[in-house]
């Protein structure tokens, strides 16, 4: 997988080649100037939107971590009292351009959940992602925090650090990425998010292939107002808990 710097180098090389092709005549020079102007405008618009999105990510994630501190403390206490296991579950996830990072969640399953999963997968249809309703590994407090997506809130820390955004495709685990097709790898073209388009449209009830399709739709049409719309839709989706398991 190419790194970001390599991709930028390839884009600059392609742009320079186009400049050379159109520099042999005065008319071509005018065409090249218009082309350069469009490139500059496009870069300004895209960079401006990225900067604005990053500013909002910092403001809302910092405010969220402070405002939700009492809730975090309560959930942490209940998890600890349930089985005395760790409060947080840290998992390696894949972000922008394949960069891996550690993502925290409030632990909602038994301590040895990954070992138990091996026995459960034999009864499930083959899929890139492993999800099952009425998962026996989930604790009583885990069912509550998963239903209302409270287990995901520690990821506001990843948003504050810049590894995630408030809105974007959910970050996959490395094992999932290794099984991706070329088209599915498009999910890695943007910074992953805390919420996404399919999470406000049914969450885990939506098949994996449809989740990928919706993520690609978001990548191709993302803008500031779409992000605001998805954030507003996240509130009723979380309160209703549809598709959460």
The model's pLDDT over 24-65, given as tens digits with 9 standing for 90+, comes to: 555 555 556 676 776 776 667 667 778 889 999 999 999 999
The rounded radius of gyration (Å) of the Cα atoms in the chain is 21
Q: Within a 10 A sphere around the Cβ of 76, how many other Cβ atoms?
A: 16
pTM (two decimals): 0.75
**Is residue 50 within 8 Å of 57, Cβ to Cβ?**
no
End-to-end CA distance of the chain: 32
* The most confident of 44-48, 73-77, 231-235, by mean pLDDT: 73-77
Residue pLDDT, tens place only, 123-155? 555 555 556 667 888 999 999 999 888 999 999
Residue 169 phi, psi (nearest 5):
-55, 140
Share of the chain above pLDDT 90, in %: 42
Q: pLDDT value at position 201?
A: 76
Best CA proximity match to 244, nearest among 175, 152, 169: 152
Give, in order, the Cα–Cα distances in Å from 28 to each of 13, 15, 25, 32: 19, 15, 5, 6
pLDDT tens-digit readout, 106-118: 999 988 777 666 5
Question: What phi and psi values does residue 199 have, to the nearest 5 degrees?
Answer: -75, -25
Q: Please give the DSSP secondary-structure letter assigned to residue 211.
A: H
At residue 225 the predicted structure's pLDDT band, cuts being 50, 70 and 90, is: confident
Q: What pLDDT is stored for residue 198 in this prediction? A: 84
Tokens of 60: 């809302």
Residue 17 has pLDDT above 70, yes or no: no
Who has greater pLDDT, 235 or 167? 167
The CA distance from 154 to 37, in Å, is: 43
> What's the maximum distance between 2 C-alpha atoms anywhere in the chain?
77
- The pLDDT value recorded for residue 75 is 97
Per DSSP, 193 falls in state: E
Query: What's residue 119's pLDDT?
Result: 55
Please determine, for residue 222, whether its predicted confidence score (pLDDT) is greater than 80.
Answer: no
Phi and psi, residue 181, nearest 5°: -85, 175
Report the pLDDT value the prediction gives residue 43, as an integer from 0 to 100. 64
């Amino acid at each position: 997988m190419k790194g970001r710097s390599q991709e930028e180098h390839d884009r600059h090389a392609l742009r320079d080649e186009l400049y050379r092709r159109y520099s042999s005549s005065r008319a071509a020079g005018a065409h090249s100037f218009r082309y350069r102007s469009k490139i500059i405008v496009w870069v300004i618009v895209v960079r401006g939107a990225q900067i604005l999105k990053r500013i909002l990510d910092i403001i809302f994630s910092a405010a969220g971590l402070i405002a939700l501190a009492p809730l975090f403390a309560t959930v942490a206490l209940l998890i600890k009292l349930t089985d005395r296991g760790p409060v947080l579950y840290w998992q390696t996830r894949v972000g922008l351009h394949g960069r891996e990072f550690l993502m925290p969640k409030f632990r909602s399953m038994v301590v040895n959940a990954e070992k138990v999963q091996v026995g459960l997968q034999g009864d499930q249809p083959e899929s890139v992602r492993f999800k099952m309703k009425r998962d026996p590994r989930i604790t009583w407090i885990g069912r509550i925090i998963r239903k209302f997506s409270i287990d995901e809130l520690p990821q506001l820390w990843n948003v504050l650090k810049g590894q995630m955004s408030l809105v974007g495709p959910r970050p996959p685990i490395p094992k999932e990425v290794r099984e991706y097709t070329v088209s599915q790898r498009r999910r890695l073209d943007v910074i992953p998010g805390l919420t996404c388009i399919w999470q406000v449209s049914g969450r885990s009830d939506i098949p994996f292939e449809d989740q990928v399709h919706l993520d690609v739709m978001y990548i191709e049409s993302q803008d500031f107002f779409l992000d605001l719309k998805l954030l507003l839709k996240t509130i009723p989706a979380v309160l209703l808990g549809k598709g959460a398991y």
